[in-house]
């Protein structure tokens, strides 16, 4: 196997929520400081707003609500901040970044791409983890066992709760997440706290209930699979509604709602272009195996807005890595370079 250009470090943590958070924060303190010192959205937009009277009121409201709804994950985030030696308010604000984008009226629709296929022969979930270039080389993989909860493995960002990218747990529940931008932002529980709860799901139905919990501030879209049930669903979640789509055949999703057509939303040019291109690929050559999924996720035919992104103007996001879940093979592969041009550069885990 070839050595990845940017290998993703792995870390194991056990204990209470607070202890797991502290261990992660202490181990990756350098990455957390490096990222937060240079995270443009946080430093140039969120923190200045946070210093206003309106920002302080908003912060306290969100703080109290999320601490009440998810005390375990709140303790985990506090432990993360303590372990890293970083102000808790910075980590909390960063974990509410989606909600703050709405308050600050940032109109860019950023995010990832998902491609899945379920037939009698295969059950695969593919995902491009896309984001700001600041995150490149800063991500890590956490293997955690919180007391009384299913063990899980998740790709994580420095200073962020596990769960807002992709992962799986010991119950055979696996998932990946796409950003979406409904305009109807509400004061409610943060998406990162909701996503963290997915790592504790015991079944597909339990996972769906967790991501559609009432009182949501915004929404994500989730591709969720169950190894034990051999099912994959895509769940689009908006603040006041949601849609569950059982995947049969091929399916692609980017950063806007495809089923919730009545939701007022921001559709960015990259998301629109990726979906249009993927729909052509799925129609012309439906993915039938690993290679088919990776071909779709590695496509760069649209030079301005490719599916596999390179942070090249006018698209300022980059594909940081690609994940491929094989439900029948009970495995996850994370491709650390272009999945088509460098198909041997992957890390593999048993689900």
The model's pTM is 0.93
Residues in the chain with pLDDT values less than 50: 1-5
**pLDDT tens-digit series, residues 90-100:** 999 999 988 88
Q: Return the pLDDT at 107.
A: 55
Query: Is the Cβ–Cβ distance between 75 and 18 less than 8 Å?
Result: yes
Q: Return the pLDDT at 187.
A: 84
Report residue 147: phi and psi, to 5°.
-50, 125
Q: Return the pLDDT at 105.
A: 63
**pLDDT tens-digit series, residues 273-319:** 999 999 999 999 999 999 999 999 999 999 999 999 999 999 989 99
Query: Rounded to an integer, what distance in angstroms lies between the CA atom of residue 180 and that of residue 287?
Result: 25
CA distances from 92 to 122, 170, 176, 299, 347 (A): 40, 28, 22, 35, 30
Domains of the chain: 9-103 (1.10.439), 113-138+171-350 (3.60.60.10)
Q: Return the pLDDT at 186.
A: 83
Query: Rounded to an integer, what distance in angstroms lies between the CA atom of residue 246 and that of residue 85?
Result: 44
């Amino acid at each position: 196997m070839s050595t990845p250009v940017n290998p993703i470090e792995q870390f194991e943590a056990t204990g209470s929520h607070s202890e797991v958070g502290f261990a992660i924060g202490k181990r990756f303190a350098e990455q957390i400081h490096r990222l937060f010192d240079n995270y443009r959205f946080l430093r140039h937009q969120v923190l200045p707003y946070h210093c206003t009277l309106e920002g302080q009121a908003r912060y306290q409201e969100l703080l109290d609500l999320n601490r009440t709804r998810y005390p375990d994950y709140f303790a985990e985030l506090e432990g993360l901040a303590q372990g890293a030696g970083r102000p808790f308010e910075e980590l909390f604000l960063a974990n509410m970044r989606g909600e703050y984008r709405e308050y600050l009226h940032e109109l860019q629709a950023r995010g990832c791409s998902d491609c899945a296929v379920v037939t009698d022969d295969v059950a695969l979930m593919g995902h491009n983890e896309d984001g700001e270039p600041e995150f490149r080389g800063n991500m890590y993989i956490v293997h955690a066992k919180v007391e009384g909860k299913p063990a899980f493995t998740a790709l994580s960002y420095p200073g962020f709760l596990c769960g807002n990218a992709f992962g799986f747990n010991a119950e055979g529940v696996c998932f990946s997440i796409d950003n979406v931008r409904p305009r109807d932002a509400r004061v409610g529980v943060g998406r990162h706290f909701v996503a963290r709860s997915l790592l504790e799901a015991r079944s597909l139905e339990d996972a769906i209930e967790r991501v559609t919990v009432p009182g949501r501030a915004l929404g994500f879209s989730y591709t969720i699979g169950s190894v034990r049930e051999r099912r994959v669903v895509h769940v689009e979640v908006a603040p006041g509604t949601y849609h569950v789509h059982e995947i049969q055949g091929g399916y692609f999703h980017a950063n806007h709602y495809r089923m919730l057509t009545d939701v007022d939303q921001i559709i960015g040019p990259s998301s629109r272009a990726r979906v249009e291109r993927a729909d052509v690929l799925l129609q012309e050559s439906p993915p039938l195996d690993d290679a088919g999924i990776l071909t779709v996720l590695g496509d760069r035919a649209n030079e301005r807005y490719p599916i596999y992104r390179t942070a090249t103007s006018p698209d300022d996001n980059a594909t940081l890595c690609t994940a491929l879940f094989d439900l029948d093979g009970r495995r996850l592969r994370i491709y650390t370079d272009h999945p088509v041009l460098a198909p041997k550069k992957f890390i593999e885990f048993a689900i």
